[in-house]
Amino acid sequence: MIQLLPLPSRHMSIALRKTLQNQNTVPQRSFGPFLLLQALPWLILAAAMRVLAATGSGPPVVFEIIVASLAVLQAFLATAQHAIDIAGGDSRLGEFDAVQQYRLSRAVLWRLALMMVAAAVVLALAGFADVVPYVLGGIDGMAFDHLSTPGKFWSAAVAALVLLILVHAGQNNGKVALFAAMGELARRWFWLGLAAAALGIAYLGLGFIQGFVRGAIWNFWQISDASQFIKNLVYFVFIFGFAMLRLWMTLLILTFGLKQSYLAGD
C-alpha cells in the first residue's frame, strides 16, 4: 500500500521555493571580462601615484609611494580571489568587505616594507648597494615592469609570499602572519620555488614584449595623424593592459604551484 504524504501548504511552498532559489546549486560566474577589470581602478591609482612620486620631491613622495603600494596590493588581492577560484581553491577572501580588504592590504604592506628594508640593509652592508632600489620596489614589480633582471625575480618571490599571506589571512578571519607565511613558503619550497622561478622568467619575456610594444607606440605617437584622444587611448590600453596581464600571469602561475604543492603533500 502506497502512503501519500500531505501536500505542503501554500506558505510552505513559497518558503521552499525561496530556499531553492537562494541555494547555489550551480556555480555562479560573472562575465569573464569583468574579472579582468576588477583590478583596473587600483592599477590606475597606483600608476598615478608612481608618476607623482617619480616627478616629485620631499616628504610627499613617501606618501605617494605608500599609496601606490597599497593600490598594487588591492589589485593583487582582487585578482587573487578569482585566480584561487580558477585553481579550485577556497580562500574566503571574497567574503571580506571593502574595509576589511583595505585593513588586510595595509597590514600586509607594513610587514612587507619592514622585510624589504631589512633585506636592503643586509645587501647594502654586503656590498650590493646597486640592487637596493630594486629590492625596495618588490611590490611595484608585481604589476608594473621592473627595469632589472634581479628585480623581476625578487618581485616574483615577493608575490609568492604575498599570496601565502593572503591565503592564511582568508583562512584566519583576516589575521596577517608574515612569519607563518614564510614558514609555509619554506615548507612548500619545491613547487613554489619552481613557480617563482618560472614567474621570473615569464616577467623577463613579458618585459621584452612590453619594450617592443612601447617602441611601436612611441613611433605611432610621432608619425600618426590620429587625434590626441586616440593616442592617449592607445597608451592607456598599453599601460594597463600589460599591468593586468602581469597580475593575472603572476597569480595563475603561483596558484598553480601552490595547488601542486598541496597535491604532492609538500
What is the model's pLDDT at position 124? 86
Q: What per-residue confidence (pLDDT) applies to 109? A: 92
Query: What does DSSP assign to residue 140?
Result: G
Polymer length in residues for the chain? 266
Distance CA 184, CA 180 (A): 6
Residues of the chain with pLDDT under 50: 1-32
Alpha-carbon radius of gyration of the chain: 23
pLDDT at 33: 52
**pTM (whole model) above 0.85:** no
Write down the domain spans for the chain.
Answer: 38-264
CB atoms within 10 A of CB 189: 13
Instruction: Please provide residue 90's backbone torsions phi and psi, each rounded to the nearest 5 degrees.
Output: -140, 100
Question: What pLDDT does residue 7 have?
Answer: 43
Contact 258, 250 (CB under 8 A): no
The amino acid at residue 22 is: N
Q: Which residue has the cell 604592506?
A: 109
Quickly tell me which residue has 597535491 as its cell. 263
Q: At 244, list the grid cell.
A: 593586468
Residue 218 has, within 13 A of its CA and on its CB side, a CA count of: 6
User: Rounded to an integer, what is the distance from CA 213 to the centroid of its chain?
Assistant: 23
Q: 54-92: per-residue pLDDT in tens?
A: 887 778 888 888 899 999 999 999 999 888 888 887 777
- State the pLDDT at residue 38: 79
Question: Could you give the CA distance from residue 239 to residue 45 in angstroms, rounded to a whole number?
Answer: 13
Contact 45, 71 (CB under 8 A): yes
Report d(CA 193, CA 254) in Å as an integer: 9
CA-nearest of 43, 167, 163, 176 to 93 is 167
Give the CA-trace dihedral at 251, 253, 257, 259, to 10 degrees: 60
Q: Count CB-CB contacts under 10 A for residue 68.
A: 24
Report the half-sphere exposure of 64 (CA within 13 A, side-chain side): 15
Contact yes or no for 159/199 (Cβ under 8 A): yes
What the block records as the C-alpha cell of 110 is 607594513
Q: What is the C-alpha to C-alpha distance for residues 44 and 4, in angstroms, rounded to an integer?
A: 64
